[in-house]
Amino acid sequence: MEKRQFIWIMTDTTGADMVGCYGSGIRTPNVDAMAERGMRFERVYTTQPVCGPARSALFTGLYPHSNGSWGNCMPLYADVKTLGERLTEAGISCGYVGKWHLDGGDYFGYGICPPGWDPEYWYDMKCYLDELTDEERLFSRRAANGDKNLSPDFLYGHRVTERALRFIREHRDEDFFLVVSYDEPHDPSLCPEPFAHMYEGRIGGDTPAAGDDLAGKPEYQRIWAKKAGGLDPAKRSPGIWPRLAGCQSWIDSEIGRILDCAREEVPESLRMFTSDHGDAAHAHGLYAKGPAVYDEIARVPLILEGPGVTAGSLYSHVVSHIDLPATVLDCFGLPRPVMLEGESLLPQIADPSLPTGRAAYVEFARYEIDHDGFGGFQPMRAVITDEYKLAVHLLDTDEFYVTSSDPYDLDNRIGDPAEEEARDALHDELLCWMNRTRDPFRGYQWACRPWRRDKTPSWDVDGFTRQRANDPGEPRQLDYSTGLPMTEASRKK
């Protein structure tokens, strides 16, 4: 029987604009080689541009508002299964090496392997810190120490690679699913030479987005930009982008070690690369990530190589991260659970000309449950298609961009009568998605926007009860009105 093997490689804070084959000036020869050998997805969007929530969708197939982890340091709901659990139940060996960020602990995690993954290979950031002295821990968290000619052996990314290589070699003759999850190039962006000073003196993000004055944009973005000093080029920190870029090039070399091993030891495996979100790096005057659908923040790389993937192929339509779990299950020949909110991309991998027929949805609630900063509560729901972006900000001005003619999202046309038909159609699609996924934050306020005159407030909102569908063999929820098992998950109340 043919072996089924899948290696999922991801970084933290790598936007598509930080990868060479996407037109970046950053050197990423190993990831670029993946694109030459396989398929590059041109327009892929995270489900939420924050570390934990983005990962929650990637490893459950449920949007952050559906799985419980809609802010950093918020654990998954107890009844939500990860890919590791689903694959382990099917007899697949599952290893997770690297950053997790889904156990409800702080940034580093608890160091405890969750169900579905092999404890022998578990190595979240708490496991790494436990290997260090207190002095080494302090050293590992300071960006300025990037000037100290660091040894790769000291760095988290290198230690993650070492464990991943061991997993590949020890499972080469069996079915397996391996996740290699680097924290790098996330700050403090420590890396060894020559990478630490590879981009010294250079300034990234030199696109029209760098000159955005945020006129006609939401007020929260101007507040965000003021904090960043981003609207005044003279106040921008010159060191952030070079550190991030250098660390990106270094972690690409670590990824190269994984790929070389995989091509030799498990040549029939599928290998995938992606990231959780990007970094504004002063595009639109902003920094880091947060409640925005700008490409610098929300658009991520996705590259796949291996058997059945055409070398040098390109997929140009919009794709969402939410589809990756269903794709993995499909690769292993397993059925898609009914509760999953994404679909498999295998048809598109086989035929890159085939649109998915699905938009990408991006959400936001808050950045960090433990911190008061980062803007606090910033509720956003957004939808992205090949032609448009619509972002509804519940507490602020909304955004509508015609990306086919405005690729840098400079001209907010939310109130433009010429775009009313397209805008409203996309808005209706967004509202349907919120209903379909049982968004706990849905309500009439998302529909009754200042620019949407045909919507009126109603205490009943849409008047539906929407219970979660279930797979055969799972307990059937009961209908509140009858006490009997529900016959339709969505029904008029």
Task: Give the active site residue among 21, 73, 94, 101.
Answer: 101
Beta-carbon contacts of residue 78 (< 8 Å; ≥ 6 apart):
none
Same domain, 345 and 413: no
Instruction: Encode pLDDT of 415-443 as tens digits.
Output: 999 999 999 999 999 999 999 999 999 99
Same domain, 378 and 319: no
Other Cβ atoms closer than 10 A to 470:
15
Q: pLDDT at position 1, please?
A: 53
Instruction: Encode pLDDT of 172-230 as tens digits.
Output: 999 999 999 999 999 999 999 999 999 987 877 678 998 899 999 999 999 999 887 76
Q: pLDDT at position 473, please?
A: 81
Instruction: Encode pLDDT of 122-155 as tens digits.
Output: 999 999 999 999 999 999 999 999 889 999 999 9
Same domain, 325 and 386: no
Mark which of 354, 374, 396 sits at the end of a domain.
354
CA atoms within 13 A on the CB side of 185: 31
Same domain, 307 and 404: no
- CATH classification at residue 257: 3.40.720.10
Other Cβ atoms closer than 10 A to 224:
24
Same domain, 87 and 119: yes
Contact 361, 433 (CB under 8 A): yes
Q: Which two tokens stand for residue 277?
A: 């979100």
pLDDT cut 70: percent of the chain above it: 98
pLDDT for residue 3 is more than 90: no
- Determine whether 73 is an active site residue: no
Same domain, 316 and 374: no
Mark which of 354, 374, 408 sits at the end of a domain.
354
Same domain, 410 and 293: no
**Could you tell me the pTM of the whole model?**
0.96
- CATH classification at residue 433: 3.30.1120.10
Same domain, 339 and 370: no
* Residue 371, domain extent: 363-492
Rounded to whole angstroms, how far apart are CA atoms 448 and 435?
A: 15
Angular region, 357: left φ>0, alpha ψ -120 to 50, beta rest? left
- Determine whether 393 is an active site residue: no
Same domain, 430 and 283: no
Same domain, 278 and 391: no
State how many domains the chain has: 2
Same domain, 315 and 419: no
Q: Is 369 exposed, middle or buried (0-12, 13-18, 19+ CB in 10 A)?
A: middle
Task: Give the active site residue among 21, 51, 113, 191.
Answer: 51
Mark which of 332, 354, 376 sits at the end of a domain.
354
DSSP three-state, residue 10 = strand
Same domain, 334 and 432: no
